[in-house]
Structures are given as C-alpha cells and as structure tokens.
Structure 1
Amino acid sequence: MYVAVKGGEAAIANAHRLLADRRRGDRSVPALTLEQIAGQLALAVDRVMAEGSLYDPELAAMAVRQSRGDLIEAIFLIRAYRTTLPRFAASSPIDTGRMLIERRISATYKDLPGGQLLGPTFDYTHRLIEPDMAGDGLVAEPVRRDPGEAGPAPRVMDILGDEALIEGDGADDGVEPTDLTRSPLAFPAPRDLRLQALARGDEGFLLGLGYSTQRGFGRTHPFVGEIRIGEVEVEVDLPEFGFPVVIGRVRVTECQMVSQFFGSKSQPPQFTRGYGLVFGQMERKAMAMSLVDRALRADEFDEERRAPAQDEEFVLAHCDNVQATGFVEHLKLPHYVDFQAELGLLRTMQREHVARSTDGTSPCGAGQPVGEGGEDVDE
C-alpha cells in the first residue's frame, strides 16, 4: 500500500479540480454531449465497449468524456463499473448468420450469395484532410440507412464447408465455454478462453502481433474469407417460458480468415480458420484478432512455436491494456522506501569498490590481485 506524504491529500484534491477544469476546456465553447460523442465519435465508443467488455454506448460515451479522450482510461472506467453490476443470466450464443448486415465484404469470392456491401468504410478514401471538417462536416442531406436492407446472408465459410474444403468451426463440440470474467486465466488456455481474452485485448497490441504473422513470424498469410458488421439479436432462455426470448440487439464485427492448408493421415488437406468477433464496428481489431487466433492454434496443427504471436502465455498475459496500464503506470506512484533501500545498497557497494581499489585488490572481486599497469591478472 502506498502512503501519501504529508499534505498529499490536499494536493490530490487540487489535482482533481485542475483535471475537471482542463476536461471542460474553454467555457466559450459548448460542452460535448453524450449524444454527440456516441454519434460522431462512434468508433471510439465502440472500442471502449469492446475492450471494456460492456455493451452500453451511453456509458462508453460518458467514459470517453470523463477520460478526456484517453480511450485506455475510458476502458479502465468501464471495466471498473462492470464489476459492480449483478449478473441475471447468460445469453444464448448469438447467430451471426442472421445478422442485419450493414457491411459485408469478402476477399475470396467476388460474386457471393447476398452480394458485397461496402457500407461505411475508410477503405476507399484518399486519406487527405478534408477542409469541410473545419466546419460542421455534414453532408448535404442525411443518408437514410436500413441495417436490415441487405437481409441475412449465408457465410462465406459455409460455402467452403459444403465442399469440405475447410475445417469445421467447432460449433457442435458440446463443451461449455469458460467465463474469463469469472475464472482466472490459466495456461494452457482452451480456444474459447483465448478468444475471450483477444476480444477485449488492446487493439494496437493485437494489430502489431497480427502484422508480425504476415511478415513471417507465425506462418500465416491468409485470405479474408468474410468481414461482416451489423446487428444481431441477443436471446436469453427463460425456464418459465421454455423458449428463448429476445432482450435486445447489439452491433458486432465478425471476421473469418481462410488460412493455409493442413492435412494428416486421417484428414484430407483443407483450409484452416482464424476467427475474430468484437462489439461495434471494429474490423481492424477483428482482423488482427483472427490472425492471432490462427497463430495461437499452432499445437493443433503440429506447427513449431517460434514466433511471439504463437506464444500463448506471452500473448494472453500481455494483451490486456487495463492490466498493462496498471503495471506500467504504477511506476509513477511513490516508491520512496524502495528507492532509498537501493540507494543505500549502491552507496555501500561504491564504498567497498573504493576500499578495494586503495588496498590493491581488484574492483571486480574481493581479494583478486591487480597486475602491473593497473590491469587485472589473468588466472
């Protein structure tokens, strides 16, 4: 436990007042509303929800405003709030095949059932600052959008699965998934636990690891089988009714990668999978997650683990930005006692060093003779 120095409580209170003042900014500028943040900074809100493990756009927008736009701090706030919530039930697995699609693309099939739907994307922009952004940034007329306009569409992976060209998705393995929020992470971790850890892992960390696999550190350079973004229904089984009840919808991003061949004496050669699923519109995160998921499955395919992205303990123990933030940022809190102990030890070692130098012994080891010219004598 850290003990504040005398006067620390008043200093902390003043620091909080200053933080609130800086957070508000120039009083002549209207304050940001939660509706503005959720609507106009939607991708930031989506990241906070995904990595905070709590789907609530209003709460996520509140956390973004409170953290002054520091998304990792906002994620920390959401995680902390999440621990105070009661748990009433566990939902049934969502069916992304029935998704009300807003965006759906595939890099493996040009003409696929249900068609390609670009949706809102930066993919084809010129990445040039637009002068209109200095104003309100509005288009001439609002664009009407219907999330269900495209309707449900078959998964690309099902097309390959019907021809036995890709491994199964493990949907019928009958194993009850482990809940990462209730059970501590242990190694070796089953795939369902790894996917949970990756889903709320830091986007930047996973992006770097995913990139490393494409550069040869992980033996995977896959094809994007499908990315789909849209709303899915959340259902809960109620014993009183005897059938699942829809309690709402959430927007998710799903990515399935088609990776390299695998075959054995008992199985024919076939494609393998990498999978990613996250809250909101976060296709870069979902893609990175699917790349790392495939890399972490090395043991399933008798592949040698030689790259960081294939090291389960390295990836899962370090991908959580809340844990990483706590461990790194605690260094700026008072460590006076620890530092004084090491400072005293260093001064003692220096005095011993000087004493050995003056009595003719080697500074490198007590009692070791010193040769002519001040050089150590080789033994």
Structure 2
Amino acid sequence: MYVAVKGGEQAIARSLELLAEARRGDTAVPELELAQIRQQLRLGVARVMQEGSLYDEELAALAIRQAAGDMLEAIFLLRAYRTTLPRFGYTEALDTTAMRVRRRVSGTFKDVPGGQVLGPTYDYTQRLLEFGPTIPATVVEAEEPLAASMPRVLDLLDAEALIERIDAGSDPEPIDLTREPLMFPADRATRMQNLARGDEGFLLGMAYSTQRGYAESHPFAGEIRMGEVDVLVCPEELGFAIEIGSITLTECQMINQFHGGNGLPPQFTRGYGLSMGESERKAMSMALVDRSLRCDELGETSYAPAQNQEFVLSHSDSVEASGFVQHLKLPHYVDFQAELSLLRTLSAQHARTANTPIAEPVVKEHAVATEQAFDQRLSVEAQS
C-alpha cells in the first residue's frame, strides 16, 4: 500500500501546464489533425482500439494525440472513457466466413480456394527508411474481382478429419469480462476476451517463447485474413437481427501438432486469434498463446509460462501493468521509513552478533536529520 500526499496543488497544476506545452510542441509547427492520425497511423489506431476495447477510430486518434504517441497511455484513456458509455445490448456473433477480404494468406497451402491475397503488408519488402516524400501507390486492378467471401483454409483439413472439429453453437454462453472479475480456472471464451485486451508486446513475448520450446507447440499459420465484417444486433422489439454497420478485423488460425491424448486421436489442433483493425501480429500472438493455454484440456504437460493461465492472464493487461509499475513514482515515504527503521534494527543486531562496530555517527546524524525533515513535512501536509 502506498500513501498519497496531500497538498502540492500548485505544483501539480504547473506540471499539467508543462505537460500541455510539451505535448503541443513548437506552435510554429501545424498541429496534428485527427484525420491525419486515422489515415496515416492506422496501425497504431487499431492497437489502441483493440486494447482499449472500443472500436472508434476518431476517439482512438484523439487518445493517441492527447498521449503524445504513448500507446499505453492512449489505451488507458480510451478504456477509461469506455467505462462512461451506456450499454445498449450485445451484438450477434460475428461471421468471419462472410468477411469482405482485403488480405488473406496461408503458410500451409500454396493454392487455396479463392487464392492468396497479399493486400497491404510489410512482409515482402526490405525494411529501409524512406527519406523522401511518400510516393502515392499506383492503383493496380486485379485480373479478377475478389470473391465476396472465401472458404476457410482449415476446411481442407477438416474434410479429411485431420484437424479437430469445433461444433458451431457448442460453446457455453460467455461471461462479460468487462463486468465480471477474472476467476481461475478460466474457460476458453474468458481467456480469449482477456487476450483480446492484452498488451501486444507481452503476448508477442509469450508467443515467441512457445516457438522456442517453452510449450509443446509446433505451429503453422493455417490462415490469416483481414477485411470487413458486418455487425448485427437483434433488438427485442423486432425479434430479428439487423445490420448496424461493419468493422475491420484481422483473424488468424494456427495449426498445431497433437499426438493424441484425453481420448482424442492424433490430429492437428487449432489456435485462434481475432483483433480489431489491421493487426496481424496481435492476432497471431493470440492464436499461439491460445493454443498453449489449452494444454490441460488436451492432456498435455503444463510446464511453460505460456501454459500457465493465471500467469499469462493476470499479467497481460497493459492498463493494470502500467498502473502498478508507475504507481512506484508516487510517494511511499511512510512505507520506506518503516523498511528503513527495520533494516537499521536488523543491521545493529547483526553488528552486535558479529562483534563489529556499528555505523559511523555521521550516518546516524544523517538518519536523524532525514527523520526530522520527514516529520516536519508530514506536519505541513496535515495543516494544508
């Protein structure tokens, strides 16, 4: 527990003024417009929306500008604002098979129904800084228009009964993790909600660990697709679903080896990731960690960090992690004085036992002066 200090309002107000000045920068330079952030920093906007749990590009862009590009702070701002919004209801389950695909690749099959669609990606270019102005891309018309929807790549394995089958509608009704506390053990639906809000860097590290042997995992990228999906709601007064808009999503399905267990035959198993906007790295990390967290249900030995759901889920939230780390900057004067007093007592006991001289008086004098200054400050704060 830390002790907040009263007083210092003028210093805090001045600090906020300095923050506003630092955030704005040189006033001779034009201020960033939200449209610029939305269009030219779309991947950052996607991350803030995803981890902030609110699909709104305008608000995400505003949070990024207010946070001066600090993505964790922007996520914090957006999630805090989200808690003030009314809840009108829940949407129907999204149908990603009907996604209007803009990018779709598979690392397992070269020729897939509907073809490979490279779309916008860094994957096939060298990572070189472009010092000149951005050159507008030349619009190239596809030889054939893309299909309105594309079958899943993993259906090819499903047709041969080589991959685990997921029965539609077999999952229990999920809890709302934004309204109910995380409890362990957590079912897969709850874990997926937590991973969706989790910090991308943390999940990337966990995913990387599974590829380096810290889990029984040998993954293949079965399919990664990105595009627009319709959002449906079913108002009680109507009794049927209506479309209220569409959102951009990135979906990843990983294929993992499985040698059989818990009554299941040898087959491929699945890892799944779904994220807002263009965010392949997040979706892939989710899929790898999701598969690792399924170790218990598949009868695998759990020994790696990425297989420990309490470790992964309790430490993946960037807002909670950032808050707990950054609270160390706040005053801990009383706590530290208690630790300091205890350490002096233990040090004196050790010195008497070891028959060694106790610290020099100058150290004692400094300690006394420090305690007097501390007591004086507490008195001033109490009066304020």
* 1:164, distance to aligned residue in structure 2 (A): 1.3
Query: Corresponding residue for 1:236?
Result: 233
Distance 1:142 1:39, change over 3 A: farther
Superposition deviation, residue 150 in structure 1: 4.1
Conservation of the 8 A alpha-carbon contact between 1:113 and 1:153: yes
Distance 1:97 1:151, change over 3 A: same
Instruction: Summarize the Cα distance change of 1:142–1:38 in structure 2 as closer, same or farther, 3 Å threshold.
Output: farther
Distance 1:108 1:85 in 2: 43
Q: Which residue number in structure 2 is paired with residue 64 of structure 1?
A: 64
1:89 alignment partner in structure 2: 89
User: Cα offset for 1:298?
Assistant: 0.4
* Closer/same/farther in 2, CA of residues 27 and 172 from structure 1, 3 Å limit: same
* Cα gap change, 1:138 to 1:2, in 2 (>3 Å): farther
Q: Which one of 256, 260, 268 corresponds to residue 257 of structure 2?
A: 260
Q: Distance in 2 between matches of 1:177 and 1:265?
A: 24
1:127 paired residue number = 127
Matching residue within 264, 267, 279 for 1:270 = 267
How many residues are aligned here?
354
**How much has 1:162 moved relative to structure 2?**
2.0
Give the structure-1-normalised TM-score.
Answer: 0.89
Partner Cα separation in structure 1 for residue 167 and residue 68 of structure 2: 42
Against the structure 1 CA distance between its residues 359 and 58, is the aligned structure 2 distance closer, same or farther, given a 3 Å change threshold?
Answer: closer
Shift of 1:141: 5.4
Q: Which runs of 5+ in 2 are unaligned?
A: 358-384
- Secondary structure in 2 aligned to 1:246? strand
Aligned-partner SS, 1:273: strand
> Residues 256, 265 of structure 1: CA spacing in aligned structure 2 closer, same or farther, 3 A cutoff?
closer
- For the pair 1:31 / 2:31, whether they are aligned, the reply is yes
Cα separation, 1, equivalents of 2:170 and 2:13: 54
1:40 shift after superposition: 0.3
- Report the counterpart of residue 173 of structure 1 in structure 2: 170
- In the alignment, which residue of structure 2 is the partner of 1:17? 17
Return the match for 1:225 from 211, 222, 227: 222
Query: Does the 8 Å CA contact 1:262/1:272 hold for their aligned counterparts?
Result: no
Please report how far the alpha carbon of residue 267 of structure 1 lies from its aligned counterpart in structure 2 after TM superposition: 4.0
CA distance in 2, matches of 1:342, 1:325: 25
Task: Note closer, same or farther for the CA distance 1:68–1:170 as it changes in structure 2 (3 Å cut).
Answer: farther
Would you say 1:249 and 2:250 are equivalent positions?
A: no
The structure-2 alpha-carbon separation of the partners of 1:214 and 1:357, relative to structure 1 and needing over 3 Å to count, comes to: closer
- Give how far 1:170 is off: 4.3
Q: 1:193 to 1:265 in 2, by over 3 A?
A: closer
Q: What are the equivalent positions in structure 2 for 1:274-353 lying under 5 Å apart?
A: 274-353=271-350
Amino acid at match of 1:190: D
Give % identity: 59
| TM-score when normalising by structure 2 | 0.88
What's the offset of the Cα at 1:172? Answer: 2.2
Please list the CA deviations of residues 144-197 of structure 1 after superposition, one character each: whole Å capped at 9, or x if unmatched: 99xx94421001122221221111124321511111111110000000000111
Deviations 1:37-85 (A, max 9, x none): 0100000000000011110000000000000000000001111111111
Tell me the secondary structure at the aligned position of residue 181 of structure 2. coil
Amino acid at match of 2:48: V
**In 2, distance between residues paired with 1:348 and 1:182?**
47
Distance apart, 1:341 and its partner CA: 1.2
Q: Give the equivalent residue in structure 1 for 2:153.
A: 156
Structure 1 unpaired stretches of 5+: 361-379
User: Whose relative contact order is higher, 1 or 2, with alpha carbons under 8 Å and at least 6 apart?
Assistant: 2
Q: 1:358 to 1:272 in 2, by over 3 A?
A: closer
* Aligned residue number for residue 101 of structure 2: 101
Farther-moved stretch of structure 1 (182-191 vs 235-244): 235-244
| 1:206 alignment counterpart | 203
Q: Distance in 2 between matches of 1:192 and 1:3?
A: 38
Deviation at 1:255, TM superposition (A): 0.1
Distance 1:256 1:185 in 2: 25
